[in-house]
Chain A
Amino acid sequence: MATTVDGKTADFPTDRGPLNYLNCDRGILSWAFTLDHKRIGLMYLISIMASLGLGGLFAMLIRVELAHSGQQIVDENTYNQLFTLHGAIMVFLFILPGIPAALGNFVLPIMLGAKDVAFPRLNLASYHLWVIGALFFLLALVTGGLDTGWTLYVPYAFQTDTRVLTAGVGAFILGFSSIFTGINFVATIHTLRPPGMTWFKMPLFLWALYATAIIQVLATPVLGITLLLLAAELVLGIGIFDPTKGGDPILFQHFFWFYSHPAVYIMILPAMGIMSEVIPTFSRKHIFGYRFIAYSSVAIALLGFLVWGHHMFVSSQSSLASTIFSLLTFSVSIPSAIKVFNWLATMYKGSIALDTPMLYALSFILLFGIGGLTGLFLATLSTDVQLHDTYFVVAHFHYTMVGGTLIAFMAGLHYWWPKITGRMYNEFWGRLCSIGVFAGFNLTFFPQFVMGSRGMPRRYHDFPEKFEIFHFLSSIGAFLMGLAMLGVLIYLLYSLFKGRRAPANPWGSATLEWQCSSPPPKENFAETPSVSDPYDYDHIKYDPEKNCYYRVN
């Protein structure tokens, strides 16, 4: 349809056909039961952004409560519910599915020049399960909430009056949603690569999604089993974890982190994949050290399974086990460091444009850098004794999960927004808000490192006066960041109605998804596009008249 190839120059299609994936079928059922990966991706995108909004609202309420010592707006029990629901919603409904299921679903098949994922029905089932799992979360929220922390540690989870079982069922179902996405991506990348695209000619985002999918398939079943055991104990009273029945509460922590630590890499690997697309594109430079980056994704995925015990250095786990887990944890730090250096080297002698996605990518390098470096303090045995369960940990994982994953999600969202919606957002507001997010984020979380290493415990409804100044700054930062995120929502929504029509390739990228129109037609490509090096920008030229890029051979 839109991908016209005429002789020597394969012009990037700047004219949309009359029909695209958004308007080819009409009616609510054409969305709810669609098998089109783009529509499923878009539904995921809207759903996870709604979850982000809800989780963000809880975060704001937490920061209002903590702006000063003493009770501000909510009592202890409500506060305990707020931080639990903030964590559970952000982890299970936003960060875990965020990049793979929303952006990955949309982009992966098009990057492969394919019409869809390998198993479109499984893909739809994954989304339906996500919705059902999310409904269970909401059910728990309205029928009594949850106050265990997202970690559900026992025996507290057995003693609380809140809805552990309902939330557990929700997380169990969400786990299967995640497994289905993982299976689909593994199968798609194995079987639907176009002729000429060997493993080492794949865009690195696909390597990242592939490594992520391996973890989703291998680790998530352990979460399912753990939740089943928890439910069996809650309902039937068998003593697996409850010490009053002869169970072992530390065993629960092992099971929980055996999933939840690899899950951290489900969150960060796709984020790194987005970096490996955005940075070369906006630097117009070939990615530096392709193989190192690809291998390091797989290395992180595999080593990530061997380090869960670093969450338990002061849990009464044996000292020998702690020592081994500490050593193994450092092995994961090296592949992450390699990636940061490689992204920097990619920019060397490039032609760097500071468009919104690139501003988020640069934010990512700095914030993930801080997140990674502060992780060293927590991997080290003796310093972790001081820092465990303090605000230092809270700051560290927000630097990786927000400074890393959320910022990368924002980079990817702005990068692929023209492709997904066919509209350009306002670049001025995009840049301004990205700077606001960066500044607000640092003001929120940097003071938390300092109060944490000085002893401020996490999950506290109230705090001694000596920590007042840190908490106050943190709350101001949170509002600045919340305001910037609100700005993003407004200009993105505005762009849907008033935004400039997006060309096929607004940024000058070389991967295949920019060879179909924006938004893509239902079948993505009329004919299989020709594959070349995804990071070779020699053939991508700028057309100042049309303000877009086109391809010359």
Chain B
Amino acid sequence: MVDFAVGTLSDLSRMALLAQSDGGSFWLPPPESVSSWAVDNVFYYILYLSYFFFALIFAVLVLFVVRYRRRPGVEAVKTATHSTLLEAVWSLIPLGLVIIMFYAGFVGYVELRSPPEQAYEILVTARKWSWQFTYPDGTMATDLHVPVGEPVRLVMSSEDVIHSLSIPAFRVKMDVVPGRYTRTWFQAKQPGKFDLYCTEYCGTGHSDMLASVVVHQREAFDAWLVEAGDILGNSATPVEAGEKLFRLHGCGSCHSTDGTPRIGPTLKGIFGETHRFSDGSSLAVDENYVRQSINEPGAKIREGYKNQMPTYKGRLSNDEITALIQYLKSLDGG
């Protein structure tokens, strides 16, 4: 029992140390965007007020319990049962403090919701359960690469359910809603790599819907953009290009490559297999079948699965589909 208590206490102190090991404070991650003040200043204002009022309540409570504990022969002393002045004071002082809180939060919110006009625009598509970032030149990526020191505006939409894009280090969070566009923005202070989460519950893969934000110097960003923009040209083999495309389009959210069934069937070692379909027919897997399944996912549904896949017709070129097929072939049983 004592060991357990000591262990828990040392865990508590580890928590305090760990919380600060990334350069942030105990409460907040390090402020990595130029707008971080909009959250942090008012956060600390409320935090210190909360410390003060909690300490006050705790101290008064302990003082009263100790001082006025029930003792034989000592009766409670009759005191005033109300005091308009006292009650007005402890209503009006908090009222004044929360009005300041509201105003500071409002000013911060305006900052977080007002991107500068010349911001660099990146389109964000959220779907179960991956992110896709599309750049002005048509380049697409699964991680969010941005240049340092420039305002970046995200224009976001969802293909299925509501998601939410959260980058704690940048103090950014905005829901991504099907059927409408939402916007948010940030400007990174220094190069580095930061976490991006989905924060609106979206089903099975919600906690896997993660991405990185990679902040580059402008030259490195431009170089990345050129490389990422031409997947086929920058890959040594079609298999390598196919693997990049597989990740980029989020195929792995539903189709595993290690044999485990997910929302859709696994794609491991399918070449050479014969698949049975829900209409009772069957077919040996070949290139044309895979191609059809990408362009018209509803044409042949594997037995035991439902048609949940969106069509990729027009979103993948012939060369890209060929690369994907080569990649799938490489996933043989061995």
Contacts and interface: CB of A to CB of B under 8 A. Distances in A.
B117 interface: no
Nearest to B71: A351
Interface stretch (B15-23, B130-138, B140-148, B274-282): B15-23
B81 A350 contact: no
Interface in B87-128: 87, 90-91, 94-95, 98-99, 101-102, 104-113
Of A248, A290, A349, most buried by chain B (CB within 10 Å of CB) is A349
Given A334-B98, A476-B8, A382 B14 contact: no
A464 to B, nearest CB: 7
A155 B207 contact: no
Interface residues on A, range: 35 or more
Interface residues of B, number: 94
A316 interface: yes
A350 B15 contact: no
Contacts of A383: 39, 42-43, 46, 105, 108
Determine the main DSSP class of A at the interface with B: helix
A381 B171 CA distance: 12
B252 to A, nearest CB: 15
A79 B115 CA distance: 38
A284 interface: yes
Contacts of A319: 109-110, 113
Interface stretch (B194-202, B230-238, B265-273): B194-202
A382 B112 contact: yes
Interface in A356-399: 362, 365-366, 369-370, 373-374, 376-377, 379-386, 388-390
B287 interface: no
A76 B207 CA distance: 9
Given A353-B70, A382-B112, A330 B99 contact: yes
Contacts of A330: 98-99, 101-102
Interface string A277-301: 0000001111111111000000000
Contacts of A458: 199, 201
A351 B166 contact: no
Of B47, B201, B206, most buried by chain A (CB within 10 Å of CB) is B201
Interface string B46-68: 11011001100110110011001
Of B24, B54, B204, most buried by chain A (CB within 10 Å of CB) is B204
Interface in A311-357: 313-316, 319, 322-323, 326-327, 330, 333-334, 337-338, 340-342, 344-345, 347-354
B6 interface: no
A460 B210 CA distance: 11
Contact of A347 (B43, B65, B110): B65
B101 to A, nearest CB: 5
A535 B208 CA distance: 56
A548 interface: no
A241 B158 CA distance: 15
B157 to A, nearest CB: 10
Given A349-B77, A383-B46, A454-B24, A463 B207 contact: yes
A320 to B, nearest CB: 11
28 contacts: A155-B160, A156-B161, A156-B202, A160-B203, A284-B70, A285-B76, A314-B174, A315-B177, A319-B113, A337-B91, A340-B57, A342-B87, A347-B61, A351-B68, A365-B61, A369-B54, A380-B42, A385-B112, A385-B172, A386-B43, A388-B173, A443-B8, A447-B15, A454-B24, A455-B168, A457-B197, A459-B201, A473-B15
Given A345-B86, A373-B49, A455-B166, 10 more contacts: A76-B206, A159-B161, A249-B178, A283-B68, A285-B76, A340-B57, A370-B54, A380-B46, A455-B195, A473-B8
